[in-house]
């Protein structure tokens, strides 16, 4: 079983819609959860992170964490064509040294 | 502010040649450092990570090695490259406490001919 699993997609949403990206993890010892955006041919860039149950909002992005169900999600409101990218979910264990990445979900926002 | 530099941006090497990729971090002390490889259309594969000078943990046995000669310098090497070593190599750093993210360099795209 993989540490972190994501639906590879592709996920397509129309411009202005809400894009919902999901991620599940296997280790209950995971403490921190991160979302990265990766444009084709570029390195991953951090969007936001969360470590407490509930929602965390940053502009058009909302991260949601449910530790009991072991999932974390990213909502993108008012999706724009520039949001088209691969979104990587990552988790960090209590030691803080290792990060485990999902394989990413490809998002396409259709104008 | 912290910055991470990785070079070269692209590299084309023949099979059997050596490799040296370098990564340096500025603006922080004693960072955790990481090397990842990403094959085309695939996820990130952790190759090595380091929590301090001279301390290297290898995640995948292969013909690659890593060294950390200085606090903020991380080097990825190979004596003889294989075709399967092609990919996008990413260096990353994080502070050595929980709940803090990794930050990535711009990456090196390595093509083996």
Q: How many beta-carbon contacts under 8 Å exist across A and B?
A: 58
Kindly report, residue by residue over B42-51, the tens digit of the pLDDT.
889 999 999 9
Indicate the average pLDDT of chain A: 93
Whole-number pLDDT of residue A67: 94
Q: Which of A74, A77, A70, A38 is nearest to A56 (CA)?
A: A74
Residues in chain A: 111
Whole-number pLDDT of residue A97: 80
Q: Is B44's CB within 8 Å of A46's CB?
A: no
Q: Nearest Cβ partner of A96 from B90, B96, B107?
A: B96
The token pair that represents A43 in the structure block: 């390195």
Distance separating alpha carbons of residues B56 and B71, to the nearest angstrom: 12
Q: Which residues are B76's β-sheet partners?
A: B21, B66
Min Cα–Cα distance to chain B from A2, Å: 12
Taking the Cβ of residue A42 and every Cβ of chain B, the question of whether any pair is shorter than 8 Å is answered with yes
Q: Is A49's CB within 8 Å of B49's CB?
A: no
Q: Nearest Cβ partner of A43 from B46, B51, B104?
A: B104
Whole-number pLDDT of residue A72: 97
Establish whether the linkage from the previous residue to B103 is cis, with ω within 30° of 0.
no
Kindly list the distances between the CA atom of residue A80 and the CA atoms of A61, A77, A85, B72, in Å, as whole numbers in the listed order: 12, 9, 11, 37
Taking the Cβ of residue A2 and every Cβ of chain B, the question of whether any pair is shorter than 8 Å is answered with no
Given a contact cutoff of 8 angstroms between Cβ atoms, the answer to whether A12 and A110 are in contact is yes
Whole-number pLDDT of residue A26: 93
Taking the Cβ of residue A39 and every Cβ of chain B, the question of whether any pair is shorter than 8 Å is answered with no
Label residue B14 exposed, middle or buried (CB < 10 Å: 0-12, 13-18, 19+). Answer: exposed
**Share above pLDDT 70 across residues of chain B, in percent, rounded to a whole number:** 98
The token pair that represents B42 in the structure block: 């695939």
Kindly report, residue by residue over B17-28, the tens digit of the pLDDT.
999 999 999 999
Q: Which of A23, A96, A100, A106 to mutate to test the interface with B (most CBs of B within 10 A)?
A: A96
Give B-chain residues touching A8 at CB under 8 angstroms. Answer: none
The token pair that represents B15 in the structure block: 């099979």
Helix then strand count (H, E) for chain A reads 0, 11
Residues in CB range of A99: below 8 A, 6 or more apart? A34, A90, A91, A92, B34, B46, B94, B102
Kindly report, residue by residue over A6-44, the tens digit of the pLDDT.
988 899 999 999 999 999 999 888 889 999 999 999 999
Distance separating alpha carbons of residues B87 and B19, to the nearest angstrom: 13
Whole-number pLDDT of residue A2: 66
Closest-CA residue in chain A for B40? Answer: A41
Given a contact cutoff of 8 angstroms between Cβ atoms, the answer to whether A43 and B105 are in contact is yes
Given a contact cutoff of 8 angstroms between Cβ atoms, the answer to whether B71 and B83 are in contact is no
pLDDT confidence of A102, banded at 50, 70, 90? very high
pLDDT confidence of B106, banded at 50, 70, 90? very high
pLDDT confidence of B61, banded at 50, 70, 90? low
Q: Which of B49, B87, B99, B108 to mutate to test the interface with A (most CBs of A within 10 A)?
A: B99
Whole-number pLDDT of residue B39: 87
Label residue B73 exposed, middle or buried (CB < 10 Å: 0-12, 13-18, 19+). Answer: middle
């Amino acid at each position: 079983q993989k540490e972190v699993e994501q639906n590879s997609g592709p996920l397509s949403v129309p411009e202005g819609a809400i894009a919902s990206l999901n991620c599940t993890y296997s280790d209950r010892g995971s403490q921190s959860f991160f979302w990265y955006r990766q444009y084709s041919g570029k390195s991953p860039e951090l969007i936001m992170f969360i470590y407490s149950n509930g929602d965390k909002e940053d502009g058009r992005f909302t991260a949601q964490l449910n530790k009991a169900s072991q999932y974390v999600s990213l909502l993108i409101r008012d999706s724009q064509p520039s949001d088209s990218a691969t979104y990587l979910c990552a988790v960090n264990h209590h030691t803080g040294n290792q990060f485990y990445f999902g394989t990413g979900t490809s998002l396409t926002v259709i104008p | 502010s912290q910055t991470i530099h990785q070079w070269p941006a692209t590299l084309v090497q023949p099979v059997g040649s050596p490799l040296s990729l370098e990564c340096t971090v500025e603006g922080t002390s004693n960072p955790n450092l990481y090397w990842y490889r990403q094959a085309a259309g695939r996820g990130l594969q952790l190759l090595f990570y380091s929590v301090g000078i001279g301390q290297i943990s290898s995640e995948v046995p292969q013909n690659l090695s890593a060294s950390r000669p200085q606090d903020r310098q991380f080097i990825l090497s190979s004596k003889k490259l294989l075709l399967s070593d092609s990919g996008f190599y990413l260096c990353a750093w994080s502070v050595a406490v929980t709940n803090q993210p990794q930050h990535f360099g711009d990456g090196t795209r390595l093509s083996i001919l």
